[in-house]
Structure 1
Amino acid sequence: MTWTTLISADELAEAIDHCTVIDARHDLLDPAVGPAAYAAGHIPGASFLHQDLDLAGPKTGSNGRHPLPDRETLAAKLRAAGLDAGRQLVAYDGQGGMFAVRVWWLARWLGHRKVAVLDGGIEAWTRAGFPLSTEPAPQRQGSFAAGASLVAEVDAATVLGNLAGGDRLVVDARAPERYRGEVEPLDPVAGHIPGAVNRPFQLNLRPDGRFKPAPVLRQEFESLLAGRPPTSLVHHCGSGVTACHNLLAMELAGLPGGALYPGSWSEWCADPARPVARGATP
């Protein structure tokens, strides 16, 4: 079996000996939360990758809070976690996939198609009665090598150039109050990219933290698209992490091809020359 979007707890338990599993738990306000949670108990055999240190590159002050990592550096970390070219990669977190989706997108960015997010995260795993471990991941050096990207991405210049014509629809995955510019707990400027619409990533989830069924997501995103092709969408969030949640949801819904703006709002607002909008969607 191959999983390319989601994998259930039962499916992972059945296939776990043939998977490389990544624990991606994190807290944007406290970077020590993820390692502590991993140490307290994780899915057996899982390795931990940190959102700030492993799944992002160096920050310059103008390239956002989670700039893309160096491709070969990330590939080496996935090899160290035991990943081979044909091996199933699974990522999980404890927040409805909001951080695991970053692993999903980055693996595809490196050309690895066999990657999925554990639907419902570690809560789904424990709720199904499967055990946790405090043992470190076994040492297994994989043979994975980065290949051609399977995803689309755009830079700030492309987003800026789109403002005049609006040929592409920019979708903001942040909470509505952040989108409207009423609060901004993480970045120095509040607001959103002019012309962007708001699709909070939480709308992709059921109350138990699992993704909504594919037909439901398809209906919701087709309403958002309003006749546009999925490839016309540019997804962003605060720093290029939770925007991947909308990308995965669209992939699950059979609407692939949207692009990620990796720098997202944290990069956009770092340049005072870039315009800022506030309030609800026009």
Structure 2
Amino acid sequence: MKYLAEKEWVLSKLDDSNIRIADCRFKLGSPDEGRSLYDHSHIPHAVYFDLEKDLSGPVREHGGRHPLPDPAQLKKVLEKAGISRDTTVIAYDGGEGAFAARFWWLLRYLGHEKVFVLNGGYKEWAESDYPLTKEVPSMERADFKIDLQPDKLASYEEVKSVAGNQDSAVLIDSREEKRYLGLEEPIDKKAGHIPGAINKVWLEAYKNGRFKDTKEQENRFAGMDKNKPIIVYCGSGVTAAPNFLALKEAGYKHVKLYAGSFSDWISYDSNKIETVEKY
């Protein structure tokens, strides 16, 4: 697969000075847990990246619950971790995939192509009795050059222009079905979905804690034109990232992520929301 790394390959590269490993473990609602897990044990040479402190910007009136970080600030964080444009980066989380995929998407948005998600994450690594450590590595500062890729990011204005108009682009809601239907909303102030969006639940990108293979991803999105623009979103731009990765694995060419997602959409009072009363 193009964007995933298997644990056996990562194990063979642990002592490669041109490899950097990013620990992205996090728990929504318990923001300190990821760092605590890292301090307890992590893959050797891994550097910790916090979803809210490193991989998101400050929450404001608009922009959603996990706004994009300022590229210049993220550049400093990456450089401190010893990541340059020549570095191969492997991101992992607990095995959920979403937090590592968020890091993966951010680096791709910044123009870094040599970045992969560890398939199976920490869970599969630990279950295989592969090396773990508590040692926090000290990295030599690198020079990371930003080359923003706007073709990977859908702006609010772009989403507004395609909402309810599936002729121009396919809008994919990545959240669980009950949230998409508006039957349940545990986080955001309003329930439902952006008009015209279809539902492709992000969890369906996985099987037994691993990303499904390319053929299975193609089957998930069967019937969708691979040359048509696609915009993926979720609640705050995090769990949509696995769907972005899955679509690219399946051969879809024009995929964008709406980073603010539904939490940004509902921050504008005039925006319409669709709900479905019954299944």
TM bucket, shorter chain: over 0.9
Corresponding residue for residue 250 of structure 1: 247
For residues 154-204 of structure 1, what are the alpha-carbon distances to aligned partners after superposition, in whole Å with 9 as ceiling and x for unaligned? Answer: 122211121353211110111111111122122111111111111111101
Give the superposition deviation at 1:96. 2.6
Query: How many equivalent residue pairs?
Result: 276
Q: Note the C-alpha offset of 1:30.
A: 1.2
The 5-angstrom pairing of residues 1-282 of structure 1 reads: 4-18=2-16, 19-149=19-149, 151-166=151-166, 167-207=168-208, 209-223=209-223, 225=224, 228-279=225-276
Cα distance change, pair 280–11 in 1 and its aligned pair in 2 (3 A): farther
* Residue segments in structure 2 that go unaligned for 5+ positions in a row: none
Contact kept? 1:173, 1:236, Cα under 8 Å = yes
* Percent of aligned pairs sharing the same letter: 34
Q: CA-to-partner distance for each residue in 1:206-244, whole Å, 9 max, x for gaps?
A: 12x111111111122233x1xx23541110001111111
CA distance in 2: counterparts of 1:59 and 1:174, whole angstroms: 21
Are the equivalent residues in 1 in contact too, given 2:52–2:66 (CA < 8 A)?
yes
Contact 1:108–1:150 (Cα < 8 Å) also in 2: no
How far has the Cα of 1:4 moved from its partner?
5.0
- Three-state SS of the structure 2 residue aligned to 1:108 is helix
Q: Unaligned 5+ residue runs, structure 1? A: none
Provide the alpha-carbon RMSD of the alignment: 1.8
TM-score in terms of structure 2 length: 0.93
Distance 2:214 2:133 in 1: 32
SS at match of 1:117: strand
Counterpart CA distance in 2 for 1:124 and 1:59 is: 33
Letter in 1 for 2:21: V
Amino acid at match of 1:147: D
TM-score (norm 1): 0.93
- Report the CA distance shift for 1:229/1:271 in structure 2 as closer, same or farther (over 3 A): same
Change in 2 beyond 3 A, CA 1:236/1:121: same
Give the secondary-structure state (helix, strand or coil) at the position aligned to 1:16.
Answer: coil
Distance 1:36 1:204 in 2: 28
Aligned counterparts of 1:204 and 1:230: Cα–Cα separation in 2: 21
What is the distance in 2 between the residues matched to 1:28 and 1:265?
Answer: 17
**Cα displacement (A) at 1:140:** 2.2
Q: 1:271 to 1:184 in 2, by over 3 A?
A: same
Note the C-alpha offset of 1:150: 7.1
CA distance in structure 1 between the partners assigned to 2:51 and 2:8 by the alignment: 26
Instruction: Tell me by how many angstroms 1:17 deviates.
Output: 2.6
Contact 1:218–1:255 (Cα < 8 Å) also in 2: no
CA contact (8 A) 2:164 2:197 kept: no
Q: Is the 8 A contact 2:169 2:229 kept in 1?
A: yes
Asked if the contact 1:10/1:128 (under 8 Å) is kept, the reply is no
Please say if residues 163 and 197 of structure 2, whose CA atoms lie closer than 8 Å, have aligned partners that are also in contact.
no
CA distance in 2, matches of 1:96, 1:7: 15
